[in-house]
Amino acid sequence: MRGRLVVGNWKMNPTSVHGALELARGVAAIDGGDVEVGIAPPYLALPQVRIALGGAAVRIYAQDVHWEPKGAHTGQISAPMLAGLADGAIVGHSEVRRDQGDDDARVAAKATAALSHELRVIFCLGESLEERRGGKTDAVISRQVHRGIGVIRTGLVTPATLAIAYEPIWAIGTGEAATGRQAGDAITRIRYELAALGLDADAFTVMYGGSVTAANVLDFARADGVDGALVGGASLDAGQFSAIVAAFR
């Protein structure tokens, strides 16, 4: 059976380390059972959040990672710098693609850097509203899988090292979640493209992300092929995040 995974992407929240620690303590109390629970706090809070989690079974993800291991890249954080602080990294998030101009090649380079330094990767992909309305969802997914994952060195991408988050851009932070059916259809396509790369597609964990809340999560938890959720806004409330985790148990 595929692993189920629910990860809270805190983005540029909370705005203080103190707030991050409070939230981390709330997440540490969640009993995920067989569902793997993760959080992606702001970089600045990583060291103290790691300590605050104590022995809790919560994985820590960086929200992004640079493709180079070191050097003249002002303001950036590299994979070696995350050693001991994070278990993995998110790459390809649409907000990073938007804010930093990441294209498929750069996302692939970031994923390669993380995987090469033994960080697990959550690989985000998804179409814009314009692309969906234009009937291009499958083509966008295909391009992002082939140019983003297909170019990563053979052997680095395995079901244990990389999970995928289908995140339609129009659903992120908008309150306009996809339906479970839309998520399931897109995820079927993602697996089809993974298989085309020669990967064991059915073994990969694929989550849905985009305005998931405690109120709508069951639609995704019940949808075929949806193995979990990448949660933004609703992960800032430990109680609501806990209910989202519980839906995938």
Window of 17-25, 27-35, 79-87, 167-175 that interacts with ligand PEP by CB under 6 A: 167-175
Catalytic site includes residue 146: no
Cα separation, 123 vs 41, in Å, equals: 17
Instruction: Please tell me whether residue 8 binds ligand PEP under the rule CB under 6 A.
Output: no
Give the whole-angstrom CA distance, residue 39 versus residue 86.
10
Q: Is the Cβ of residue 148 or residue 232 nearer to ligand PEP in the bound state?
A: 232
- Return the residues of window 221-240 that contact ligand PEP according to CB under 6 A: 230-234
What is the rounded distance in angstroms from the CA atom of residue 71 to the CA atom of residue 68? 7
| CB contact at 8 A, 32 and 245 | yes
Residues 46, 92: Cα–Cα separation, whole Å: 20
For ligand PEP, the binding residue among 205, 211, 216, 242 (CB under 6 A) is 211
Say how many CA atoms lie within 13 Å of 198 toward its Cβ: 6
Under the binding rule (CB under 6 A), the answer on residue 126 touching ligand PEP is no
Which residue's Cβ lies closest to ligand PEP?
A: 232
The residue with tokens 């996302």 is: 107
Query: Which DSSP string corresponds to 67-82?
Result: SSSSSS-TT---TGGG
Among 4, 5, 6, 9, binds ligand PEP (CB under 6 A): 9
209 binds ligand PEP (CB under 6 A): yes
Catalytic option among 66, 93, 127, 131: 93
229, 209 Cβ separation under 8 angstroms:
yes
Q: Which span (30-38, 105-113, 197-205, 210-218) binds ligand PEP, by CB under 6 A?
A: 210-218
Task: Return the bridge partners of 61, or none.
Answer: 88
Report in angstroms how near the CB of residue 198 gets to ligand PEP at its nearest.
Answer: 28
What residues act catalytically? Answer: 93, 167
Which residues in this chain contact ligand PEP in the complex, by CB under 6 A? Answer: 9, 167, 172-173, 209-212, 230-234
